[in-house]
Structure 1
Amino acid sequence: MLRAWRAPALARARAGAARGWARSAASEAAAESREDSRYRDTVLLPRSRFPAQLPGRLQPETELKTQEKCGFSELYSWQRQRKTKQEFCLHDGPPYANGDPHVGHALNKILKDITNRFHVMRGYKVHYVPGWDCHGLPIELKALSEVKGAENLSPMEIRQRARAFAEGAIEKQKSAFIRWGIMADWANCYLTFDPKYEANQLRVFYKMYDKGLIYRDYKPVFWSPSTKTALAEAELEYNEQHVSRSVYMKFPLLKSPPKLTSVIDGSSPASVLVWTTQPWTVPANQAVCYMPDSAYSIVKCTTTGQRFILAADRVESTAAVLDTQFEVVSTCKGADLADGSCAHPTIPGRVSPLLPANHVTMTKGTGLVHTAPAHGMEDYSVASHHQLPTDCLVDESGYFTEAAGPELKNKNVLEEGNEAVIKMLQAAGSLLKEEKYVHSYPYDWRTKKPIIIRASKQWFVNTADVKAAAQDVLKKVKVIPTSAVNRMLEMLDRRTFWCISRQRCWGVPIPAFYQKSTGECLINRYLPRNPSYALKQGVNQI
């Protein structure tokens, strides 16, 4: 009985304590609320009848009413009527007309709008004309992505589809930008496919051409096999985890450098040691380059007795990679390698001369660089200086052409073609080691697939002639962050040309006429106005 009474009594006691605690907590909260209310009227905050939060279904309607009442659509024209000499001009880098609006558009437009409104509040008259980039590969790819048999369409059909797609994308994006309340002259936007805009582009093009700033040449460019077009550096992104099949290979000496004849015994053949991450470029090799001011060693392999030439700084690391030991026979300056030549590792009878070059580095490889002028910017510079051939054995799709030989013809250079070249090196006894190499490699930012460097005939801007003036102007511009302008200055220093041509149907064409049999090009300021002028000049096969 005692236990039976104690249980409910204990429960009642606990419940009473809980109620007491709740009353105590409530009284404390009320006290705190009264304490807070004493200060509420002392804080000068704006008072509004706007609700603190709206249900999701009411938000769009309320925002539209707010825009209408506040006159967002008239704000730009209103501020343009200000009688002030202070004017702020913001150039609008146009978005591509290649799809629906997204968060990237919002970030771009809203940040610009904040900047413009800030200057309006400071008393400026703002000049801001939005626009769209209506040409180019992104639009062409999107327009044709859902078309069956797109590869069979004529250029005119591709252009019609691309234009229609761009027009639809512009309307979608413009509606979104207006909906976001962006202050702009939306009735007078600029569109790059507008005839007046294109005409201005051509006028500038011919002014540059007349000044010798635009030329056509055959040289290596960044090439995307996945889209079959040349790319500018800005159209690349770098995959830091790209895996290449790198190889160490030997180029047997055909002619010893005169200054090393006494060191290299003719009865004991020697080879130069070369490393590359792109074995598929070996068939296009025309030379092996060395750094004139660096030290090089003639070494003897303790395992095979073979003699090799490589950079003195790379002897130990290379021996470790090849899992052997090198005995240094002699050391010389890079300049002492002058006038030597090697046998090509896969093509019998071809000679690869030893040539000096300042782009050779000692941080990786062997300090001796395989040089294929058709597949490297620095390689091309060496070839131009020494008048070497720049033969490209790779087509627009990234496959070896017939000129590469029956073993390589029609093979993809980044896949089975690479494998075939490695097997050729192995069969010739030139391959010393193959290994996987993880490094940063350029990809086409649109297709997310690797690119190659490939020589082809393109149109270029001669940036070397305007480099000094451009750098002086850039130094006067305040850029945030400063690293951005430093990168631009470095790029101008490094690159002496800019490829402006693309192998596409949808874009502003370079108005030039070509003689079919000779490939001779006719271009001048009169062609866009009078195409028959070309016929009068003797270009009768167009």
Structure 2
Amino acid sequence: MRWGLRLRGSGPAALSAARNLWRPPRLPGRLGWRATPWRLPVRPVTGAHDQPQNPSSGQYRDSVLLPQTRFPMKLLGRQQPDTEMEIQQECGFSELYSWQRERKIKTEFCLHDGPPYANGDPHVGHALNKILKDIVNRYHMMRGSKIHFVPGWDCHGLPIEMRVLSGPGRKVQDLSPMEIREKARSFAKAAIEKQKSAFIRWGIMADWDNCYYTFDKKYEAKQLRNFYQLYEKGLIYRSYKPVFWSPSSRTALAEAELEYNLEHVSHAIYVKFPLLKPSSKLTSLTAGTSASFLIWTTQPWTIPANQAVCYMPDSKYAVVKCSKSGDHYILAADKVTSVASVLETTFEVISTFSGEDLESSTCAHPLIPDKESPLLPANHVTMTKGTGLVHTAPAHGMEDYSVAVQHNLSTDCLVNEEGVFTDEAGPELKHKAVLEEGTDIVIKMLQATKNLLKEEKLVHSYPYDWRTMKPVVIRASKQWFINITDIKTTAKELLRKVKFIPASAQSAMIEMMDRRPYWCISRQRVWGVPIPVFHHKTKDEYLINSQTIDHITKLVEEHGSDIWWTLPPEQLLPKEVLSKVGGADDLEYVPGQDILDIWFDSGISWSHVLPGNEQRADLYLEGKDQLGGWFQSSLLTSVALKKQAPFKTVMIHGFTLGDKGEKMSKSLGNVIDPDIVINGGQDQRKEPPYGVDVLRWWVAESNIFSEVTINPSALNAARDDISKLRNTLRFLLGNVAGFNPETDSVHVNNMYVIDQYMLHLLQDLANKITESYKQYDFGKVIRLLRAFYTRELSNFYFSIIKDRLYCENASDPKRRSCQTALAEILDVIVRSFAPILPHLAEEVFQHIPYATEPKSVFRTGWIHTSSIWKKPGLEEAIESACAMRDSFLKSIPGKNAAEYEVIIVIEPGLLFEIIEMLQAEETSSSSQLNELMMASQTTLLSQEPRTLAADVTELKGTFLINLEGGDIREESSYKVIVVPTTKEKCPRCWKYTATSSGTLCPRCAEVAGK
């Protein structure tokens, strides 16, 4: 066995310091170890004998200072949630936010709450998010910052509207816009009250009296002003473009409103587009033979809307002859082999050429006679799938639309709002759903024209409506857009100055912005904020100006956005504008029927909530899905309006997963109800009440930057951890009974070495805990705490000090030394976990015996430590003694250490002098060294005794002393000799230190006599 001692400094001065650094205080009395009469359910120290529960029974019971506290070891069943509710009332949880806001301090920490959606009951995803935010806020508040945290709710939008329309009652088509809005508002209000009640129950500290709601009149008015500011800057425009369209919801959707189904099945087809007019180069290559361009698509229903075929100018293409049919085809040279394999044939390459040689060629439309489709160059063509030639339908693809604009192609859409072909699609297709029967008919039409080469089923990722969970299409329509092209460059530059946790999320968000071509902000529904624009009745013109906006925002601020549907059009316009557009009797304009995207609703929340002129939050903290959602809409609107990011730091957490690792979502119906976790289910044997602190511990302990799993085993593990922590706290509280820190504390320099050592470790723990909170690494906080209270406290320190606590005089300095350390340990530990477990922290504070008026832990600041606790060399000095202690305990596995005497033999040198500091006399049953050994008595020798009994155990080891810098290295040998004691067990302390059976040992005789 080799142990190392590292002392600061070098040379004679270091040796001198080492010899004098930890000279033990001169405290009267003798000390030792015995089993505790009040046992904690923790792992015993290796080698310690598991003694009976109550060694102090009988006549000496009253002279033993057993722990005294009313702090319960366990809270069983309903006791846990009931106690938490009592603590919230008694400790002023509801007043804490307003109290901390009234403090006269300059430092402010602002966490802007991303609004949860008001469309359902609170779920475990809410718990993960809100508890994380609360841990952050409570930590910063305890560190001395004034917290700004205003909760909010996202109240508009399609999901709420769909919920109220799917309920019982009148048919949807019979409901007026106002009836739908009233139902939606009532539904949202009910959901908000449920969620708010749950958040408060979870102990979330917030400004609950001044929440923000996106359906609030002032919020809506502010939103309309922001809309017009963007319009004035030229960033909002109306255009006919392809957008994600949900036939099941009959509205446009944003990318953030899509969920991708990895198991979607499409009809993938290979289609011939016959070469009609070849370029001069192509004419020479085809040598007069007929050839066709090969196209592959997974959206057959878009073929009727084809306007062109695109190629990659820099790629190589080939003319091939099919061995099966003898036909000639044109496709990318790199795709010849793979396409031939799919078509179950072989291709003979006749010639190859550059893509740019296709310029000015045309092909025949595969379904529409006499219609030509030009061959056009495009950078979006890739060789990863298909044939290297892309069928282009400008009404049904973003890249396709860009090509159409560049080359002046038609962008007419043949699909209506229900996802059905219009009359313009022709008699065979009209009124057919494009994703169902419409696809089948297009395939049959291609077969009839002999242009279909192959059809196959393809399982792939496909966008679905996030609420109806039905597939969407890309469809061109007139919508309102924000021109993010002009914003993205600045936004990305500013984003690079924002701190991301984890750091990888920064590049992920930038990549998402790069992929976003534009932001469609209009929706074809009624539950939302209207786009404040008037459309001409007969012309493609619209009306919006500062006068109309001022008038509408004043109406909205007073009455809410319902005015768009309740007031006649002439009252929605100011008088000076009304007179110019026909007057009330012959009004030329009508209010538009589009509402604003809810991502715009919530994206401008910073302008309504964040304080000061800067309007920047210290932290945004949401799930990873918000990288393309709220984080992005907040950034884009803030950059557009203020040329700054609305956040300084962005923290991202993963999704909550079920027991089998599946994502939790309301649509899948697998969401865990936090209320059942806290209060238990109907069968409380299967679903016991854990209380909210278990939920909070689970949140803090989880690896939040990946997916977070919640299941009974995770909750049980959290409960077990807290139970062990409670036992540690009970030991601490029980053993500081009768101790007053103001009058009874022992100065650190006069404390026992082992007590100084614990304060030394405590300061290191406090520094690491604080740094972990700074980095928002709450899992590390828990790991540090758990290691400290199980290993350093329960399994080490508590086992050593019990005799000193229980069997010395109440006011003995050596006992007060220990109580001084326990009081400091208690204070640091409670403050360390307070942001995570606020209920337990407050419960502990109510049971501190020396607190004349119990205060809230959150009103008394962060961890307090002293620089003098840090003692260079102390940790290493204790390690050397523990090396010998471990040798002794490992030699008597399962036996009582107090039944043995230990002889330690160390060759003369620095190690001997270090150990001698813990025991000045040769043999002692009360020295600090013997307390560490937990033996009947310890003898320290510089050479082996001349004679030894036959039944001794000898153990050898070495300890390396390595002074900093390597100038002095001293490796010392030691021997531990274990001898069964010849003394008797003291009936009071149960140590084997009595001279005869049934009599007290000298120490106990002295204490009991007093």
Both structures adopt the same fold (TM-score exceeding 0.5): yes
- Partner of 2:525, secondary structure, is coil
Structure 1 counterpart of 2:271, from 249, 254, 265:
249
Asked whether the equivalents of residues 225 and 549 of structure 2 are also in contact (C-alpha less than 8 Å), the reply is no
- Partner of 1:526, secondary structure, is helix
Q: Which amino acid aligns with 2:448?
A: A
Partner in structure 2 of residue 277 of structure 1: 298
Matched, 1:319 2:340: yes
Q: Which amino acid aligns with 1:536?
A: S
Matched, 1:363 2:384: yes
- Partner of 2:499, secondary structure, is coil
Structure 2 counterpart of 1:540, from 583, 588, 608:
588
Which has the higher mean CA deviation after the structures are superposed, 420-429 or 495-504? 495-504
Q: 1:48 to 1:340 in 2, by over 3 A?
A: farther
Partner in structure 1 of residue 663 of structure 2: none
Matched, 1:347 2:368: yes
Q: Which amino acid aligns with 2:340?
A: A
Matched, 1:33 2:50: yes
- Give the superposition deviation at 1:493: 2.1
- Give the superposition deviation at 1:496: 3.5
CA distances 1:148-205 after superposition (whole Å, capped 9, x unpaired): 3123201111111111111111111111111111101111111111111111101111
CA distances 1:311-368 after superposition (whole Å, capped 9, x unpaired): 0000001111111111111100000000000110011111110000000000111000
- Partner of 2:375, secondary structure, is strand
Q: Which amino acid aligns with 1:173?
A: Q
Structure 1 counterpart of 2:280, from 251, 255, 258:
258
- Give the superposition deviation at 1:35: 8.7
Asked whether the equivalents of residues 361 and 367 of structure 1 are also in contact (C-alpha less than 8 Å), the reply is yes
Matched, 1:439 2:460: yes
- Measure, in 2, the Cα distance between the counterparts of 1:198 and 1:110: 29
Partner in structure 2 of residue 54 of structure 1: 75
- Measure, in 2, the Cα distance between the counterparts of 1:350 and 1:203: 48
Tell me the percent identity: 68
Asked whether the equivalents of residues 214 and 459 of structure 1 are also in contact (C-alpha less than 8 Å), the reply is yes
- Measure, in 1, the Cα distance between the counterparts of 2:481 and 2:475: 15
Partner in structure 2 of residue 392 of structure 1: 413
Partner in structure 2 of residue 156 of structure 1: 178
Q: 1:141 to 1:37 in 2, by over 3 A?
A: farther
- Give the superposition deviation at 1:506: 0.5
Partner in structure 2 of residue 240 of structure 1: 262
Q: 1:97 to 1:322 in 2, by over 3 A?
A: same
Structure 2 counterpart of 1:182, from 196, 199, 204:
204
- Give the superposition deviation at 1:143: 2.1
TM-score, reference length from structure 2: 0.49
- Measure, in 1, the Cα distance between the counterparts of 2:163 and 2:541: 35
Matched, 1:89 2:110: yes
- Give the superposition deviation at 1:301: 1.1
Larger RCO: 1 or 2 (CA < 8 Å, sep 6+): 2
Asked whether the equivalents of residues 96 and 138 of structure 1 are also in contact (C-alpha less than 8 Å), the reply is no
Partner in structure 2 of residue 415 of structure 1: 436
Structure 1 counterpart of 2:137, from 107, 116, 119:
116
Matched, 1:165 2:206: no
- Measure, in 2, the Cα distance between the counterparts of 1:159 and 1:170: 16
Partner in structure 2 of residue 201 of structure 1: 223
Partner in structure 1 of residue 126 of structure 2: 105
Q: Considering only aligned residues, what root-mean-square deviation do their CA atoms show, in Å?
A: 1.8
Partner in structure 2 of residue 6 of structure 1: none
- Measure, in 1, the Cα distance between the counterparts of 2:319 and 2:116: 57
Partner in structure 1 of residue 484 of structure 2: 463
- Measure, in 2, the Cα distance between the counterparts of 1:88 and 1:416: 57
- Give the superposition deviation at 1:442: 0.9
- Measure, in 2, the Cα distance between the counterparts of 1:428 and 1:48: 91
- Measure, in 2, the Cα distance between the counterparts of 1:445 and 1:201: 25
Q: Which amino acid aligns with 1:309?
A: I
Asked whether the equivalents of residues 463 and 492 of structure 1 are also in contact (C-alpha less than 8 Å), the reply is no
- Measure, in 2, the Cα distance between the counterparts of 1:303 and 1:146: 58
CA distances 1:483-521 after superposition (whole Å, capped 9, x unpaired): 332222123223231001111100011011111212311
- Measure, in 2, the Cα distance between the counterparts of 1:47 and 1:248: 83
- Measure, in 2, the Cα distance between the counterparts of 1:525 and 1:478: 38
- Measure, in 2, the Cα distance between the counterparts of 1:524 and 1:276: 45
- Give the superposition deviation at 1:48: 5.4
Q: Which amino acid aligns with 2:408?
A: Q
- Partner of 2:90, secondary structure, is helix
Q: Which amino acid aligns with 1:389?
A: S
Asked whether the equivalents of residues 221 and 230 of structure 1 are also in contact (C-alpha less than 8 Å), the reply is yes
Q: Which amino acid aligns with 1:509?
A: P
- Partner of 1:182, secondary structure, is coil
Query: What is the count of residue pairs matched by the alignment?
Result: 505
**Structure 2, unaligned runs of 5 or more:** 1-47, 56-66, 552-571, 582-586, 591-1010
- Measure, in 2, the Cα distance between the counterparts of 1:462 and 1:483: 27
Q: Which amino acid aligns with 2:460?
A: H
CA distances 1:450-482 after superposition (whole Å, capped 9, x unpaired): 111010111000000111110011101111223
- Measure, in 2, the Cα distance between the counterparts of 1:359 and 1:442: 20
- Measure, in 2, the Cα distance between the counterparts of 1:494 and 1:91: 27
Q: Which amino acid aligns with 1:77?
A: S
Q: 1:185 to 1:48 in 2, by over 3 A?
A: farther
Structure 2 counterpart of 1:380, from 395, 401, 413:
401
Q: Which amino acid aligns with 1:79?
A: Q
Q: Which amino acid aligns with 2:129?
A: N
- Measure, in 2, the Cα distance between the counterparts of 1:302 and 1:460: 51
- Measure, in 2, the Cα distance between the counterparts of 1:402 and 1:344: 19
- Give the superposition deviation at 1:37: 9.2
- Partner of 1:226, secondary structure, is coil
Q: Which amino acid aligns with 2:535?
A: Y
TM-score, reference length from structure 1: 0.90
- Measure, in 2, the Cα distance between the counterparts of 1:408 and 1:187: 57
CA distances 1:110-157 after superposition (whole Å, capped 9, x unpaired): 111011001112111110000111111121112222133123201111
Q: Which amino acid aligns with 1:250?
A: K
Which has the higher mean CA deviation after the structures are superposed, 305-314 or 60-69? 60-69
- Partner of 1:221, secondary structure, is strand
Partner in structure 2 of residue 450 of structure 1: 471
Q: 1:339 to 1:62 in 2, by over 3 A?
A: same
- Partner of 2:523, secondary structure, is coil
- Measure, in 2, the Cα distance between the counterparts of 1:481 and 1:164: 39
Q: 1:138 to 1:34 in 2, by over 3 A?
A: same
CA distances 1:420-474 after superposition (whole Å, capped 9, x unpaired): 0000000000000001112111111111111110101110000001111100111
- Measure, in 1, the Cα distance between the counterparts of 2:527 and 2:383: 44
- Give the superposition deviation at 1:305: 1.5
Partner in structure 2 of residue 19 of structure 1: none
Asked whether the equivalents of residues 274 and 364 of structure 2 are also in contact (C-alpha less than 8 Å), the reply is yes
Matches within 5 A, 1:471-490: 471-490=492-511
Structure 1 counterpart of 2:538, from 517, 522, 525:
517
